Each structure stands twice: as structure tokens, then as C-alpha cells.
């Protein structure tokens, strides 16, 4: 963007004046009061216009208006400008700064209103640069004060960079904003520690207190409701008890009223019956006592004693005739009877055993083994076999036929069989011999048969010799056995003997029984002897003399007889005791009879005396006298009863009257009836009752205690409730206070969250923008630095943290903080940075012009020239407009600037303002141009 | 027969938004409203005054309110019929049970419909809430055990109305409208919903004195003329003591706090009672919306609540976001990272004000 011209239609001291500007660098020079500031403001306001809004506007706007409104016609305040945009368009922009109505921007070529592109209430051409009214000046305009600030304060350069980076220079730096926010947070929120006293902690404390108060209020309210219910319950219980008591009292009063009515009626009846006290019968009480005693004695007189049976003398005689007590047993002593029984049992046992022992019928007097041995000795079954051997042997010797081939074997086998048989038949040795001999004979026969050898026959005979010897001994033994059998009267048949042996074995048990019987008999007899001796000893022990040689049983019988005699004597002796008792009783009875007779005489005498006292003839028989006395007593008892009844009724009457009168009683009864009716009044009929079977006073007393207790409980409940009511917090108010406290806490917490989030975002934004901006600024300054510093510095560095600027010294190669550089160098670098910043901040394709106001005022000649040279070189890329009153600058301009790229405008001192001496031209009239005065 | 119906007076209810003195005044207004109701009953010579529940708040009722109710009811000759609701539910600790009410007061005590003979042949069936919640419907399965005309009085929720009643309303003792006819009830006088409603067979009178800002509809007491044939004629009467206004003040173009104060002052000047002001519109960048300060306006009012509505920022946020400055970056980051529009607005304004060097960094 370049500004071709500015037309002050009505602006400050100018009316329809035009300032033409070159596209490169324009120096507007003039002395003080020549309108430089007005043109500077007009130029800026022609581009941005003023914000349209209700009210007087901001303070800056008000100050601007106060300074630059037309002096003569303040209501008209207008300025125009022609702009050449970098997109090729030429724009005429008109700003109605007073009314803010006739403002517009027109495309000169098309004649079209393009205000909408830049409208912000009014057209604001800075928007084509991506700026606004506030940032336009701070971005594109550099004034003397800023240059002075950089020159005077080392930190101003950095601060300006930060401010521009943060808000395009319109407001605070980001660091200031952050510091302000942090301080604000400290003041408006504060820490959240227990000891903190800031708004957040205060709000939390207030919430805690309010919640606590609310909880307490609710608790108290709940207790109040509970106490209300308790009181209501206590009142109900007390009322129920009161009704019950009143009912019971009414019931009792009714009963008492009825009772008094009955007492009054009874008293009236008694008073009528006993107008006076009844007489006393106490005078003849002693006589009545004596009559009573006489009659009582007579009634209880002893009965007459009747004596029966033998007299005392007769009994004494009978006693003298009784024998003495016997000496010895009066009945058989058990020990004697036991001994007697023992003898009898012994004799009975022997009798039961019998006299003959058991014996087997016809049994020989020999045992079975002897019979079997005898049978063996009689048996000769082996001898025929030996004879066969002999016969065979003889045949061999030639008296027989040819030997048969099988004969030897038969002999051997026969001999063997015979031997074994003999062995079995308990002929051991003989059997063995027979067997051996048979074998040998067989061998010999065999050999002889085959060979006909006599030697062999000899050997056979030799072999047969022992047999023959043994056979002889057998025969001899058999003969002996035969003799023994016959001697014993036994059969000689071995088989019969063997049968007998078997039978004899079978009868051996009878023999054992026999032997037992004998032993038993001997034992019994010994026992009998002992028993008999014991019987005799027992008798002796009982003092019974046994005659020598006397049999025990007979002695016993004699002892028994003696006992029987003793018993008879004993019975006779025992009667003496009976007789003595009868005698004593008889004597006592005779004494009693005598005493009774005397007593009766006394009783009768008393009876007669009593009869005489009551006027009855005492000489009558006692029964008659007693009847007369009874009649007298009965008559007196009737009279006495009547008197006692009368006395009792009199006493009852006195009790009933209790010192009063019957009328008093009637009045009291009526009063009580009235009282009972009063008590029953307003009570339900069902309540007027007293339970059955209880003492009314006790029951009423209990009810009264109960009522008293319940009333006390009721009073306590009422007192507690009253106390509670007096101190009961208002729950609604507590809720409202809690709600307010929570609301305040929410506000502070929301504020804290907002500030914290804002701080975080600001920190992040600052860091990012500085990081992006620092290299851009550095590169932009590097482009011009060697030229503006005369080669002293060759490179610049911008710290992305705080935008601090450092420069590299060409001579030493060392980096130096820009704050430490000379004022002139700082001014130059500042201008370069402003340009760089403008490039950075203008976000559209346009290139912003640079408006400079007295920026060289503080520079000396060389620095001034260097600065102007830099500006001139910058004007190759962007329009530079420099306002100055400095003749040196003007001289430089005259020398350095060339038309048409550059221009020099010389302003004349403005005439004094005032009504009438500065008439304004009409807007339609052509404005008087401010023509450049000296341009080469 | 002529009846007066009201409900939901909510004596001793809190007003969380109000200052203590305002809250006390509003509670006093409730009591005065009851006086007006009873005065109306005397004026109209009604046969009975019916309260369909929530006469007071059980958890907050003060001894003074209990004494007020007892003496106020005792002073009138009118018959008072009370059906406890979910806020004044009947329990052993309830004032309904612990207070010795005057003989002209009848309180339903069962959680089922029980009879009260209003006149020969006319029975008013009523029920009580015995707990603050979970009370079953009263009309389901109910049938009168006698002849004549049957009316009902209860604190109950007609289900179809839940959707358009105030938010958070719980369906206590719920019922379908058709159940009333099915139960043989000619007309049911009901409480619970604060929005008034005259249905064919039931009536909600609404809260007679304003409870919240923004309440509309013809609320108050209802004079009911019951014909012998069961016909019902209803006439609504305003008995409210409190005056409540809900106004919106537009502050477009306000350049500073004074503009805002002036706008609000102008809006509330003709009003009385309690006013809630919602501020909305575009605020100039340099202007501060000091709601607390604005809230101190209205000395002539019983109470003033000022809240920020749709307040727009006067800054050209889009233009700032286009800047290559820290400010632009900050706005861009905020727009990107802060999802909640209100929070984003507060943060952006706070940051911009800090960058502008302002001291009013708390954004309403």
C-alpha cells in the first residue's frame, strides 16, 4: 500500500488542503506550527477512520478529536486519501470523522464502493494490511518519542519488540499480561492452603462454615420435629391418664355418695329404733358365772366307776400259786436240730448208696491185653507154611519130583507172606526168621534146581535152621498158653479169646463205678460218724447230759422231751406277770372309784348351792336342779342377746353420726352425690369406672402417681421444645446462606480455572510467537545491519525467549547485547526491527508504508545521515513518509531524494486559527494542494 | 356448593438466589398469600377451603409458621380440608400430627383415599403422602363405597403433564387422567404441578405466590362451583403477594459499565417486587460487565438478580485470531483448545484484557 495523497477537507487548521506523497520516500518538512502533526494525524485517520459507536468514545478518541477537529467548524471533520494498493487497485477513501456517516472507499477505476472489504463500523483501510485502527499506528508509525525511548533506555528496544510481538504494539507485552494475570490470581483467588487468607480459601471456609451451619440447622430442625412429636405423645398420654383418673374418681365419688346415702338411711333407722342408749346387764354376771360353773361341773362330773372281775385279794392269792421260771431250753435249740439233721442226712446218704457195690456180670478176672496175648500164643497159622518148606526141601533131596521152575519163587513169596503175617500177628522175630529162611530156601532151591548142587541144599538147610528153632519155641509157647487158658477157665480158641478181650474192654466202666462206690461208702460212713459225734457235742453244749454210750438220736429225743417240759413250766411262770399287772390295775381302779364318788358329791353340792341362789329348792335330785339352772341360764341369755344387739346398733348409730345428726348425714350424702355428678360431667360414660377386685384408694393413688409422672414428662417435653424453639436456626436461611457460599466458591473456582487456563494459553502463545518471530527479525535486520552500522556489526541474533537482541562485532567476532550498543546504533537497529516487525505483522500481501515523525531529532550529524540513508534504501520496498523540522534532514533530502520516486514537501507556518479567518471550502470545491516546494 | 382450591404454597421454602432480607420477605409474602386466600374464602363464603398439599415444607417449617397456620385456620369459620403432599408429608413428627388443630380443620391421614362428607350426597375423598417419596397412585383400583357425588383432593402427578412441567419434577403419586373417571370420581382437585391446568376431570391451581422467576400462567386460588349434577365451574383468582419479573436487557453498543448500568436501571425502573435481569448483546471491547455492581441497582425492588445471558465479546476475535502476534496465537489456541463456548469466551476476554493492561480481569 502506498498513499498517493491526503486531502484535509476539514481537519485541524486545514480546509481543503492536499498533501501529495511520492511512492518512495517523502520528507515533509516545516517549522513548528506548520501542521506536521495535523498532517500526520490526517494521514493516519484518512486510512483508518474512527470507530463508530454510541457515546463519547474512548479517551484516546476523545483526545484525538479534541486536538484535530476543525478549529472553526468542529461539527465538520473530514479527510480523504488516495491509496494505491499493491494489488494494483487505486482507492479513494473518504472519512467523515465527525458524523461517521459519509465514509466510504471507492475503487477509482471501477467507481465501485469497496467499503465492505474494510468495514469496521466505518471503512478502515488498515484492514487491507491485516491491521486495525489501533495496531496501524503502532505498526507503521514511528515517532520521536519512541526513538528517544530507545535511545534513552537500554531495555526499550527489547520491550518494544515484545510489545509488538504481543499486541502489535498497541497494548502490553505478553510478559506484562502474564504478570498482571498472576498478580490478579493472587489477589482475586489466592492460594488454597489451610493458612491462606485469599478469596478462594475464604470462600472454602465460608462454604465449610455454611454447610456446617446448615447441617446443624437440619439436625436441630429434625430434633425440633421429634420433640414436637414427643410432646404431642406425652400430652396424649397424660390426657388419657387424666381421663382415666377422672373417671375413676367419679366412679369412686358415685360409690361414696351411694354409701353415704345408705349410711344416712341406716342411721335414720337406728335412731328411730334407739332414741336412747340401751340398758346394761352387767349386774348379775357373777351369779350367771356361778350357775354356769355349777352346771358345767355337773355336766362334766365323772361317771360312776363300775368294778368287775376278781378283787385285789383274790389276785394276790393266784399270784402266790404260780411256779418259778425253768432252767434250760424251753424249745430245741437250732444247733441241736441242725446237728440232728446232719446225722439224719448222713444216714440217709448211706442208705441211698446201698450195701452192694455195682459189679459186671461173669467178667473174668483178667484184663483184655492178657486175653489178646494169650490168643496170639495159641495161634499156629505160620507153622503149615514151614512144613511146606520142609516138604519141598525133602523133595529136593530126592524124595520128590523135579523141581518146578516157579517153585523157588513161590516159596520165597510164601515165606515172605508168612513172615509178614507173623510179624502182623506179633510173632516178630519168628516172622522175620520165617521170611529170611523162606528167601534163602527159595534161593537154595532155585540154585539146586538148576544145578542139582548139594551145596545149595546144605545152604538151604542152614538157612532153615533158625526157623526151625523158632518154630519149636512157638510150639512150646502155644502149649503153655493152652494150659494157662484152661487153668483160667478160658477157651483155647484164639478167636474166642480175642472176642472176650473186646468184651472185657467194653465192661471196664463198670469196674470204675465199683471202685467209686467203695470210696463213696467209706466217705459216707466217716461223715456219719462225725455227725453223730457233733450231735453229742451239741447236746452237751446246751447243757444236756448225755448218758455214756447213749446213741445220739436217742439222746436228742430225750433233749427234745426235756425242752417240752421246760416250755410248759415257762408258760405257767409267765402268768405271774399278768397277775401282777391285773393286781395293780385293780388297786388303781378301786382308788379311782373312791375319788370319783367324792368329786360327784362336791359337784352336786355346788349344784344345790347355785339352785338355792336362783331360788330353786336345792333338795331336789341333781338332774332336776340342773334343768332348772339351764332354764334360768337360757332365759338370761335371751335377755343378754337383745341387750347386746341394742348396744351394737347404738354404737353403729354413733359411728354413723360421728358426732353429727341424721340430717347432717343426709346433707353429706347429697353433697357427695352432687360432687360425683360434677366429676362425671364431660366424661365419657365408659371412662367412669373402677376395676373390679382392686382397692379403690390404691388404684386411685396409682393413677394419680401415673398422671403426675406423665404430666412431669409432658412438662419436660414442653420445656425442651420451648428451649429448642428459642434457639432453632432457620433451615431455609441456612440453606440460602450455604447456597450463597457455594455460589461464591463456584465463582472463585471458575475464576481460578479461567485465569489458570488463560495463563497457560498466554505462556504457550508467547513462547510460540517468540520462537517464530525471532529468526524472522534476525534475518530482516541482518539485511541492513552492515550498512547502517558502517560495517561495525555484521550479524544480529534475536533470543526467542524474550526477544533480546544481540549483534556480532565485525572486528572481534564477539556477540554483544544490543542494549549495550551506542544510542545511534540502537536507533538504527530499532528502525530496522520496526520495519521487520511491520513485515511480520502485516499478514496480507500488502506492504505497509512507514510513517516517521521527527525520528532523527536526537541523532548527531553522521548518525542522522546514516539513518536517513537506511530509510531511503528501505523506501525502495515500501513508502516512507518522514515528517521533520530539522534543516539537516531537509538538506539531506534535497541532496539525496529524486523525483518522481521521492519528494520533499515544505510546509509553511499555519496562520492563527479562529472563526472567520479560516473559511472552509465546500467539499465539492477542489482542495488546495500542498505542492512540494523543492524537488529535484 | 362452592369450594376454594389452592396448593403448593410451600411455606418456609428457601430462595437460594436471594439476599437474606429478600428471602425473608418472600417467605413472609407466602404467609400473606394464605391470608388472602382465606379472606377470599370469607368473601366468597365458600363451603370449604381445600389445600392439595405442599402447604409448607416439612424439613424447614419453623415453629412460628406452625403457630401461624394454627391460629390462622382457627380464626376462620370456613372448613379447612388439607391433603398432605410430598413436601409436607404426614408423619408422627409432622405438624399435622403434633399440633392441636382447630375443629374446622380436617386433615387426611391415610395414604389411601378416605371419605369426608362435604354435604349430603357429596363426598370429598382425600389421601395423604406418608413419606417424601415413593407414594403410589391414589386412584388406581379405587371405587367409592357409597352413592352420591364423589370429589377428590390429593397431591398427585398426572403422568401426561410431566413433560411440560418444571424440570426435575418427580412423579409423586402418579396417575393417568382416565383413572379419575374409572374410579368414579367426578372431579379431582390436585396439587404438585406448579403450572396451572384446568382439565375436564381435574384441576391444578398452580402455586399461588411465585416461587421461581419466569413462572407464567394464571396461577392462584380457584373458586369452584360444584353443581348438584356434578358440573364444575372454575374461576381463577390472583392471590399472589409477591411480584416477580424476568426481563432481558440488551446492551448492544454499550461502551462501558455505565452504559450497562443505565440500560439495566431503565429496564427495572418501572418494576416492583423481585426482578431477574438477563443481560445479553454485544459489549464494547473496553466495557466491563460488572454484574455484581449492576446487582446493586434497584433499591426500590425487593430483590434483583442479574445474570449474563448471551453476551458477545466486542472484540473482533476473528481479526485478532488472524494476527501473527502473541494475542493472535492466544486467541487461536483458545478457540482450538477450549470447547465450552462460555469458558472460551471468558478465557479469551481475560487474556485480551490482560494484554490490554486492564485491571478488570474477572469476566462475568
Q: pLDDT value at position A914?
A: 41
Contact B132, B86 (CB under 8 A): yes
Vertex A542, ends A541 and A545: CA angle to 5°?
85
In chain A, residues 229-248 whose CB comes closer than 8 Å to chain B: 229, 231-233
Three cell numbers at A432?
522175620
Q: pLDDT value at position A566?
A: 87
Query: What is the DSSP-derived secondary structure letter of residue A199?
Result: H
Mean pLDDT of A31-47: 89
Identify which of B243, B64, B47 has the alpha carbon closest to the alpha carbon of residue B151: B47
| pLDDT of A927 strictly over 60 | no
Cβ separation of A167 and B322 shorter than 8 Å? no
Q: Which residue of B has its CA nearest to A165?
A: B325
Question: How many CB atoms are closer than 10 A to CB A520?
Answer: 14
pLDDT digits (tens, 9 = 90+) for B26-56: 999 999 999 999 999 999 999 999 999 999 9
| pLDDT of A449 strictly over 70 | no
In chain A, residues 813-842 whose CB comes closer than 8 Å to chain B: 840-841
Contact A787, A876 (CB under 8 A): no
Q: pLDDT value at position A98?
A: 86
Q: What is the DSSP annotation of A440-455?
A: HHHHHHHHHHHH--HH
CA dihedral sign of residues B101, B4, B273, A743: positive
Cβ separation of B98 and A228 shorter than 8 Å? yes
A481-485, A546-550, B346-350: range with highest mean pLDDT: B346-350
Mean pLDDT of A626-633: 90
A513: helix, strand or coil: helix
Tell me whether A502 touches chain B (CB under 8 Å): no
Cβ separation of B255 and A841 shorter than 8 Å? no
Contact A447, A470 (CB under 8 A): no
Three cell numbers at A583?
393286781
Three cell numbers at A831?
528502525
The predicted complex's ipTM stands at 0.88
pLDDT digits (tens, 9 = 90+) for A732-765: 999 999 999 999 999 999 999 999 999 999 999 9
Tell me the nearest-neighbour CA distance from B76 into chain A, angstroms.
24
Longest dimension (CA), chain A: 226
Q: pLDDT value at position A138?
A: 78
Contact A884, A856 (CB under 8 A): yes
Tell me which H or E stretch contains B233.
strand B232-237
The residue with greater pLDDT, A14 or A454, is A14
Tell me the nearest-neighbour CA distance from A104 into chain B, angstroms.
20
For the whole model, what pTM was predicted?
0.61
Name which of A179, A182, A725, A754 to mutate to probe chain B: the one with the most chain B Cβ atoms within 10 A of its Cβ.
A754
Contact B183, B174 (CB under 8 A): no
Tell me which H or E stretch contains A612.
helix A552-614
| pLDDT of B292 strictly over 50 | yes
Q: pLDDT value at position A421?
A: 55
Lowest average pLDDT, out of A20-24, A118-122, A781-785, goes to A781-785
Mean of per-residue pLDDT scores for chain A = 83
Q: pLDDT value at position A921?
A: 34
Tell me whether B251 touches chain A (CB under 8 Å): no
Q: Which residue of A has its CA nearest to B252?
A: A54
Angle between helices A622-657 and A285-299 (to 10 degrees): 140
In chain A, residues 404-463 whose CB comes closer than 8 Å to chain B: none
C-alpha B65/C-alpha B55 separation (Å) is 11
Cβ separation of B12 and A177 shorter than 8 Å? no
Q: How far apart are the first and last CA of chain B?
A: 56
Q: Which residues of A603-612 are buried (b: 16+ CB within 10 A; e: fewer)?
A: bbebbbebbe
Q: Which residue of B has its CA nearest to A223?
A: B93
pLDDT digits (tens, 9 = 90+) for A126-179: 989 888 887 787 788 887 777 777 666 667 767 777 777 777 766 778 888 999
Q: Which residue of A has its CA nearest to B99?
A: A232
| pLDDT of A180 strictly over 70 | yes
A431-440, B70-79, B314-323: range with highest mean pLDDT: B70-79
Mean of per-residue pLDDT scores for chain B = 92
Cβ separation of B63 and A165 shorter than 8 Å? no
Q: Which residue of A has its CA nearest to B356?
A: A171
| pLDDT of B350 strictly over 80 | yes
| Nearest-by-Cβ selection for A733 from B23, B327, B350 | B23
C-alpha A3/C-alpha A125 separation (Å) is 11
Amino acid at each position: 500500500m502506498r498513499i498517493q495523497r491526503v486531502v484535509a477537507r476539514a481537519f485541524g487548521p486545514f480546509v481543503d488542503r492536499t498533501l501529495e506523497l511520492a511512492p518512495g520516500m517523502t520528507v515533509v518538512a516545516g517549522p513548528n506550527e506548520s501542521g506536521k502533526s495535523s498532517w500526520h494525524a490526517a494521514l493516519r485517520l484518512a486510512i483508518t477512520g474512527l470507530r463508530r459507536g454510541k457515546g463519547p468514545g474512548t479517551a484516546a478518541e476523545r483526545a484525538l478529536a479534541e486536538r484535530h477537529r476543525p478549529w472553526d467548524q468542529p461539527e465538520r471533520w473530514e479527510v480523504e486519501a488516495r491509496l494505491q494498493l499493491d494489488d494494483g487497485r487505486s482507492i479513494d477513501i473518504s472519512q467523515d470523522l465527525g458524523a461517521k456517516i459519509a465514509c466510504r472507499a471507492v475503487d477509482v477505476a471501477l467507481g465501485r464502493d469497496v467499503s465492505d472489504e474494510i468495514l469496521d463500523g466505518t471503512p478502515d483501510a488498515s484492514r487491507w494490511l491485516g491491521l486495525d485502527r489501533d495496531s496501524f499506528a503502532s505498526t507503521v508509525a514511528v515517532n520521536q518519542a519512541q526513538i528517544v525511548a530507545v535511545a534513552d533506555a537500554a531495555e526499550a528496544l527489547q520491550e518494544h519488540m515484545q510489545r509488538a510481538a504481543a499486541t502489535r504494539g498497541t497494548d502490553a507485552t505478553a510478559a506484562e499480561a502474564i504478570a498482571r494475570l498472576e498478580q490478579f490470581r493472587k489477589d482475586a483467588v489466592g492460594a488454597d492452603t489451610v493458612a491462606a487468607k485469599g478469596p478462594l480459601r475464604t470462600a472454602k471456609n465460608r462454604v465449610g462454615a455454611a454447610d456446617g451451619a446448615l447441617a446443624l440447622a437440619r439436625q436441630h430442625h429434625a430434633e425440633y420435629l421429634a420433640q414436637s412429636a414427643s410432646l404431642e405423645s406425652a400430652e396424649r398420654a397424660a390426657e388419657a391418664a387424666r381421663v382415666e383418673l377422672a373417671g375413676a374418681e367419679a366412679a369412686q365419688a358415685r360409690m361414696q355418695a351411694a354409701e353415704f346415702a345408705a349410711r344416712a338411711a341406716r342411721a335414720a333407722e337406728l335412731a328411730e329404733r334407739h332414741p336412747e342408749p340401751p340398758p346394761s346387764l352387767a349386774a348379775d354376771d357373777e351369779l350367771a358365772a356361778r350357775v354356769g360353773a355349777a352346771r358345767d361341773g355337773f355336766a362334766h362330773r365323772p361317771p360312776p366307776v363300775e368294778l368287775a372281775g376278781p378283787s385285789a385279794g383274790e389276785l394276790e392269792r393266784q399270784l402266790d400259786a404260780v411256779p418259778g421260771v425253768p432252767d434250760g431250753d424251753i424249745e430245741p435249740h437250732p444247733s441241736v436240730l441242725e446237728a440232728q439233721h446232719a446225722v439224719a442226712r448222713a444216714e440217709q446218704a448211706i442208705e441211698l448208696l446201698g450195701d452192694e457195690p455195682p459189679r459186671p456180670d461173669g467178667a473174668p478176672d483178667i484184663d483184655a491185653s492178657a486175653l489178646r496175648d494169650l490168643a496170639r500164643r495159641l495161634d499156629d497159622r505160620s507153622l503149615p507154611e514151614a512144613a511146606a518148606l520142609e516138604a519141598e526141601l525133602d523133595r529136593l533131596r530126592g524124595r520128590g519130583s523135579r523141581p518146578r521152575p516157579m517153585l523157588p519163587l513161590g516159596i520165597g513169596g510164601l515165606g515172605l507172606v508168612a513172615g509178614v503175617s507173623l510179624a502182623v500177628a506179633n510173632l516178630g522175630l519168628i516172622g522175620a526168621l520165617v521170611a529170611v529162611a523162606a528167601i534163602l530156601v527159595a534161593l537154595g532151591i532155585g540154585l539146586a534146581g538148576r544145578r542139582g548142587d548139594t551145596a545149595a541144599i546144605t545152604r538151604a538147610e542152614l538157612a532153615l535152621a533158625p526157623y526151625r528153632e523158632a518154630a519149636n519155641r512157638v510150639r512150646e509157647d502155644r502149649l503153655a498158653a493152652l494150659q494157662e487158658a484152661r487153668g483160667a477157665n478160658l477157651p483155647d480158641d484164639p478167636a474166642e479169646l480175642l472176642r472176650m478181650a473186646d468184651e472185657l474192654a467194653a465192661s471196664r466202666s463198670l469196674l470204675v463205678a465199683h471202685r467209686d462206690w467203695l470210696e463213696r461208702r467209706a466217705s459216707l460212713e466217716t461223715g456219719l460218724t462225725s455227725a453223730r459225734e457233733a450231735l453229742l457235742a451239741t447236746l452237751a453244749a446246751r447243757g444236756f447230759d448225755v448218758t455214756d454210750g447213749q446213741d445220739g438220736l436217742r439222746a436228742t429225743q430225750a433233749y427234745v422231751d426235756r425242752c417240752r417240759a421246760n416250755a410248759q413250766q415257762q408258760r405257767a411262770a409267765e402268768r405271774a406277770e399278768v397277775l401282777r399287772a391285773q393286781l395293780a390295775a385293780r388297786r388303781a381302779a378301786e382308788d379311782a372309784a373312791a375319788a370319783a364318788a367324792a368329786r360327784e358329791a362336791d359337784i352336786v353340792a355346788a349344784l344345790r348351792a347355785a339352785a338355792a341362789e336362783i331360788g330353786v329348792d336345792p333338795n331336789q335330785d341333781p338332774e332336776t336342779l340342773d334343768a332348772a339352772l339351764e332354764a334360768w341360764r337360757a332365759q338370761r341369755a335371751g335377755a343378754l342377746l337383745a341387750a347386746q344387739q341394742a348396744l351394737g346398733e347404738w354404737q353403729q348409730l354413733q359411728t354413723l353420726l360421728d358426732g353429727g345428726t341424721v340430717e347432717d348425714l343426709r346433707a353429706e350424702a347429697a353433697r357427695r352425690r352432687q360432687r360425683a355428678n360434677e366429676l362425671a360431667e364431660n366424661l365419657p360414660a365408659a371412662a367412669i369406672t373402677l376395676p373390679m377386685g382392686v382397692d379403690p384408694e390404691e388404684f386411685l393413688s396409682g393413677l394419680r402417681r401415673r398422671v403426675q409422672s406423665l404430666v412431669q414428662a409432658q412438662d419436660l417435653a414442653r420445656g425442651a421444645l420451648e428451649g429448642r424453639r428459642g434457639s432453632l436456626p432457620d433451615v431455609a436461611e441456612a440453606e440460602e446462606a450455604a447456597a450463597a457460599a457455594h455460589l461464591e466458591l463456584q465463582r472463585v473456582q471458575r475464576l481460578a480455572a479461567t485465569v489458570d487456563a488463560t495463563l497457560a494459553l498466554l505462556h504457550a502463545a508467547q513462547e510460540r510467537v517468540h520462537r517464530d518471530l525471532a529468526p524472522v527479525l534476525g534475518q530482516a535486520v541482518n539485511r541492513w545491519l552492515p550498512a547502517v552500522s558502517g560495517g561495525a556489526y555484521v550479524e544480529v541474533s534475536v533470543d526467542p525467549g524474550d526477544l533480546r537482541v544481540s549483534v556480532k562485532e565485525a572486528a572481534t567476532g564477539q556477540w554483544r547485547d544490543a542494549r549495550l550498543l551506542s544510542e545511534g546504533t540502537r536507533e538504527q537497529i530499532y528502525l530496522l526491527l520496526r520495519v521487520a516487525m511491520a513485515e511480520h505483522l502485516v499478514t496480507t500481501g500488502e506492504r505497509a508504508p512507514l510513517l516517521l515523525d521527527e525520528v532523527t531529532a536526537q541523532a548527531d550529524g553522521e548518525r542522522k545521515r546514516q539513518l536517513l540513508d537506511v530509510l531511503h534504501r528501505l523506501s525502495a520496498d515500501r513508502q516512507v513518509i518522514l515528517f521533520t523540522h530539522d534543516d539537516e534532514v531537509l538538506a539531506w533530502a534535497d541532496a539525496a531524494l529524486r523525483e518522481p520516486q521521492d519528494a520533499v514537501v515544505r510546509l509553511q507556518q499555519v496562520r492563527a486559527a479562529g472563526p472567520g479567518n479560516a473559511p472552509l471550502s465546500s467539499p465539492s470545491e477542489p482542495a488546495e494542494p500542498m505542492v512540494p516546494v523543492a524537488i529535484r | 356448593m362452592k369450594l376454594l382450591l389452592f396448593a403448593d404454597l410451600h411455606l418456609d421454602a428457601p430462595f437460594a438466589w436471594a439476599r437474606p432480607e429478600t428471602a425473608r420477605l418472600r417467605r413472609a409474602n407466602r404467609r400473606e398469600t394464605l391470608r388472602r386466600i382465606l379472606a377470599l374464602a370469607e368473601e366468597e363464603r365458600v363451603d370449604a377451603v381445600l389445600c392439595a398439599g405442599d402447604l409448607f415444607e416439612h424439613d424447614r417449617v419453623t415453629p412460628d409458621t406452625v403457630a401461624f397456620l394454627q391460629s390462622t385456620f382457627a380464626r376462620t369459620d370456613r372448613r379447612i380440608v388439607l391433603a398432605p403432599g410430598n413436601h409436607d408429608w404426614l408423619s408422627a413428627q409432622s405438624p399435622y400430627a403434633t399440633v392441636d388443630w382447630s375443629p374446622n380443620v380436617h386433615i387426611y391421614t391415610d395414604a389411601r383415599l378416605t371419605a369426608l362428607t362435604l354435604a349430603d350426597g357429596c363426598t370429598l375423598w382425600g389421601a395423604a403422602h406418608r413419606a417424601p417419596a415413593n407414594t403410589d397412585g391414589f386412584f388406581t383400583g379405587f371405587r367409592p363405597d357409597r352413592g352420591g357425588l364423589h370429589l377428590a383432593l390429593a397431591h398427585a402427578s398426572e403422568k401426561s403433564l410431566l413433560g411440560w412441567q418444571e424440570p426435575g419434577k418427580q412423579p409423586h403419586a402418579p396417575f393417568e387422567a382416565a383413572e379419575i373417571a374409572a374410579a368414579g370420581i367426578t372431579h379431582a382437585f390436585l396439587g404438585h404441578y406448579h403450572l396451572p391446568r384446568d382439565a375436564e376431570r381435574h384441576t391444578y391451581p398452580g402455586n399461588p405466590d411465585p416461587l421461581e422467576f419466569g413462572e407464567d400462567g394464571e396461577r392462584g386460588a380457584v373458586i369452584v362451583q360444584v353443581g348438584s349434577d356434578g358440573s364444575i365451574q372454575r374461576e381463577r383468582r390472583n392471590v399472589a403477594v409477591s411480584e416477580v419479573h424476568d426481563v432481558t436487557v440488551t446492551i448492544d453498543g454499550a461502551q462501558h459499565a455505565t452504559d450497562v448500568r443505565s440500560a439495566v436501571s431503565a429496564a427495572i425502573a418501572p418494576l416492583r417486587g423481585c426482578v431477574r435481569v438477563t443481560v445479553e448483546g454485544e459489549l464494547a471491547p473496553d466495557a466491563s460487565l460488572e454484574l455484581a455492581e449492576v446487582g446493586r441497582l434497584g433499591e426500590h425492588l425487593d430483590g434483583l438478580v442479574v445474570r449474563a445471558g448471551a453476551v458477545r465479546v466486542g472484540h473482533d476475535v476473528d481479526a485478532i485470531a488472524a494476527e501473527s502476534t502473541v494475542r493472535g496465537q492466544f486467541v487461536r489456541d483458545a478457540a482450538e483448545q477450549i470447547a465450552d463456548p462460555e469458558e472460551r469466551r471468558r478465557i479469551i476476554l481475560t487474556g485480551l484484557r490482560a494484554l490490554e493492561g486492564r485491571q478488570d480481569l474477572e469476566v462475568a
